[in-house]
């Protein structure tokens, strides 16, 4: 027994010595220095239970209130323009590109100095990171691949369209491209492992918006041979089809399904190799097609993980944890449909990009209501670029504040929300385009009506309120509400510029028996006051203040 204690003590000393040596080396090389508590940090991971999902960070569910920087903000010179925006926004996670051309400008010679600086500064700013691997695909093209790749058509062939024309997108059908990309990605993951013991990096996105705009698929002789061959058995099995060639099995969808499979397999191999170095959660992002209608594959990124090929991607890329939509549609119906398509029992809903304009901010409530694990407006940094008309006309303090109002509400309770969302039932809705009230069914017994544009007193629908002015500043819908079930008759309620009115689904005689306003501190609910009288007579009015309520309902 004594001997075991001594041995363990020796082992601790040894580990301690190695750790201090690592610190000295890290300091000398000015690498990010892992904190000692961090040595034991749990690896971030995605977990799934009863069809619900959580992103586990430091051992507990984590709600990613994220932001993505602009494409070319991935250099040390830009960081002073990034961090103030991240702070003003109140984001807890920053998604940042690391480009292949940046880490391997010369084949076989790697430079991770930017990554080191990024990790160090993220820690100083107390945020987590998501690393975006811009490589073979960045919005369909190889723009971010090093010149030794993107200018060598012979070694790294581009795709050939049906007319025999060479297009900019690289073909996924060549081992040379796959091996080169994989080698660089493996080096990247190995480096993250070496310098990030406390897991500041919580997720990685291999590639960016894969697919092709210039062709439905690759028609090179190599691709043609594969296309004329049988559909791989794994895919046939996964989709419950009968074996055959691509055209026999998938008919008119054959070209796109073939391409989704080809790209999915490529990305999977890259991701799997990276995970063998460091097993971080990995997701791919999708340039979306219309969520309701069939669309000509020439008008979107064919072969990327669009809703019509999600099952193909799931079969092709088991190493990818999440297929994630980049949302640049401003219509509430389309956003909700997209949330439905991507939030599945086998796929966590995560929005790694959404437009930076004010009209998109309310969708945070729809995404969280659909059990979303993360959300990130795109391009919110002070680098002087705006992607209008996709996003805001200007990325200034106001553009950031349009999202910050919601993050301020959720940041103090992000852990609690993520846990409730994973373990219990949550609902949420953002103000629809028509600003009309909507009623949520809270599991059979209770309902909640969410309405907008109400004054705190009275109801805009009541005749005696006819003379009241319209609420100002309602041109762009910005309201929303979130509800989580705490016990059968008890709910947590929060939101922004919305009124929540509870009801009985079965017409029972009931009352709102207690409304506590409070806040979370270190994971504990702190009571601030009871709401009663005017504050509850016309529903629960959530304003621009960060308000969180615990509401009890009872029959009498």
Using CB under 6 A as the binding rule, the residues of this chain from 277 to 306 that contact ligand DGJ are 285
Tokens of 100: 């292949």
Toward ligand DGJ, which CB reaches closer, 71 or 93? 71
Q: What is the DSSP letter of 204?
A: E
Q: What is the DSSP letter of 394?
A: S
One symbol per residue from 339 to 378: x for binding ligand DGJ (CB under 6 A), - otherwise; what is it? --------------x------------------------x
Least distance from ligand DGJ to the Cβ atom of residue 300, Å = 12
β-pair partners for 95: 68, 130
Residue nearest to ligand DGJ according to CB distances in the complex: 387
The answer to the question of residue 416 lying near ligand DGJ (CB under 6 A) is no
Supply φ then ψ for residue 541, to 5 degrees. Answer: -95, 110
- Give the CA distances from residue 556 to residues 216, 448, 508, 509, 513, in Å, rounded to whole numbers and listed in that order: 63, 19, 9, 6, 10
The answer to the question of residue 255 lying near ligand DGJ (CB under 6 A) is no
Q: CA angle at residue 292 from 289 to 294, to 5 degrees?
A: 60
Least distance from ligand DGJ to the Cβ atom of residue 208, Å = 5
Length of the chain in terms of residues written: 556
Q: Which of 387, 414, 439, 535 binds ligand DGJ (CB under 6 A)?
A: 387
Q: Are 46 and 61 in contact (CB under 8 A)?
A: no
CA atoms within 13 A on the CB side of 294: 4
Q: CA angle at residue 386 from 384 to 388, to 5 degrees?
A: 155
The answer to the question of residue 381 lying near ligand DGJ (CB under 6 A) is no
One symbol per residue from 307 to 346: x for binding ligand DGJ (CB under 6 A), - otherwise; what is it? -------------------x--------------------
Least distance from ligand DGJ to the Cβ atom of residue 390, Å = 6
The answer to the question of residue 208 lying near ligand DGJ (CB under 6 A) is yes
Residue 121 makes CB contacts below 8 A (sequence gap 6+) with: 79, 83
Sign of CA dihedral 178, 179, 180, 186: positive
Tokens of 123: 């820690």
The answer to the question of residue 168 lying near ligand DGJ (CB under 6 A) is no
Tokens of 431: 């103000």
Count of residues near ligand DGJ by CB under 6 A: 11
The answer to the question of residue 139 lying near ligand DGJ (CB under 6 A) is yes
The answer to the question of residue 209 lying near ligand DGJ (CB under 6 A) is yes
Q: Could you give the CA distance from residue 302 to residue 213 in angstroms, rounded to a whole number? A: 6
Least distance from ligand DGJ to the Cβ atom of residue 419, Å = 30
Least distance from ligand DGJ to the Cβ atom of residue 387, Å = 4
Least distance from ligand DGJ to the Cβ atom of residue 285, Å = 6
Using CB under 6 A as the binding rule, the residues of this chain from 42 to 71 that contact ligand DGJ are 71
Least distance from ligand DGJ to the Cβ atom of residue 356, Å = 9
Would you tell me which residues interact with ligand DGJ (CB under 6 A)? Answer: 71, 139, 208-209, 285, 326, 353, 378-379, 387, 390
């Amino acid at each position: 027994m004594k001997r075991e204690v001594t041995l363990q003590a020796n082992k601790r000393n040894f580990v301690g010595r190695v750790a201090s040596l690592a610190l000295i080396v890290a300091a000398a090389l000015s690498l990010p220095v892992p904190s000692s508590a961090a040595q034991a940090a749990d690896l971030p991971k995605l977990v799934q239970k009863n069809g619900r999902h959580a992103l586990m960070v430091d051992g507990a569910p984590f709600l990613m209130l994220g932001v993505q920087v602009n494409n070319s903000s991935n250099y040390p010179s830009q960081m002073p323009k990034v961090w103030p925006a991240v702070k003003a926004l109140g984001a807890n996670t920053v998604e940042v590109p690391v480009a292949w051309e940046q880490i391997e400008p010369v084949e076989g010679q790697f430079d991770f100095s930017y990554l080191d600086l990024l990790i160090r500064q993220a820690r100083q700013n107390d945020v987590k990171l998501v690393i975006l691997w811009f490589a073979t695909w960045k919005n369909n093209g190889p723009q971010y691949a090093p010149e030794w790749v993107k200018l060598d058509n012979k070694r790294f062939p581009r795709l050939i369209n049906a007319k025999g024309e060479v297009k900019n997108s690289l073909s996924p059908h060549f081992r040379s491209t796959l091996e080169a990309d994989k080698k660089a990605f493996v080096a990247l993951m190995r480096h993250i492992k070496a310098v990030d013991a406390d897991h500041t990096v919580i997720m990685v996105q291999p590639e960016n918006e894969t697919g092709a705009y210039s062709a439905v698929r690759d028609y090179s002789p190599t691709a043609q041979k594969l296309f004329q061959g049988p559909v791989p058995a794994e895919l046939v099995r996964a989709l419950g089809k009968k074996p055959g060639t691509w055209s026999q099995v998938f008919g008119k969808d054959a070209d796109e399904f073939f391409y989704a499979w080809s790209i999915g397999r490529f990305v999977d191999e890259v991701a799997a190799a990276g995970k063998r170095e460091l097993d971080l959660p990995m997701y791919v992002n999708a340039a979306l097609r219309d969520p309701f209608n069939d669309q000509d594959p020439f008008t979107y990124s064919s072969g990327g993980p669009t809703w019509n090929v999600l099952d193909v991607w799931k079969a092709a890329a088991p190493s990818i944890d999440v297929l994630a939509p980049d949302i640049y549609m401003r219509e509430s119906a389309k956003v909700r449909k997209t949330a439905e398509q991507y939030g599945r029992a086998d796929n966590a809903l995560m929005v790694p990009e959404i437009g930076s304009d004010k009209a998109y901010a309310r969708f945070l409530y729809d995404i969280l209501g659909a059990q979303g694990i993360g959300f990130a407006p795109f391009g919110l940094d002070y680098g002087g670029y705006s992607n209008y008309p996709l996003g805001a006309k200007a990325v200034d303090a106001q553009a950031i504040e349009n999202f910050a109002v919601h993050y301020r509400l959720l940041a103090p309770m992000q852990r609690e929300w993520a846990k409730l969302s994973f373990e219990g039932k949550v609902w949420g809705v953002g103000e629809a385009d028509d600003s009309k009230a909507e009623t949520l069914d809270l599991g059979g017994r209770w309902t909640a009506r969410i309405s907008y544009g109400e004054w705190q007193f009275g109801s805009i629908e009541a005749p005696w309120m006819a003379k009241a002015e319209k609420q100002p500043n309602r041109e762009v819908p910005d309201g929303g509400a979130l509800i989580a079930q705490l016990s059968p008759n008890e709910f947590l309620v929060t939101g922004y510029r919305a009124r929540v009115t509870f009801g009985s689904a079965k017409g029972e005689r009931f009352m709102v028996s207690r409304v506590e306003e409070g806040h979370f501190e270190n994971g504990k609910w702190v009571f601030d006051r009871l709401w009663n009288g005017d504050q509850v007579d016309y529903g629960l009015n959530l304003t621009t203040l960060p308000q969180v309520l615990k509401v009890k309902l009872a029959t009498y």
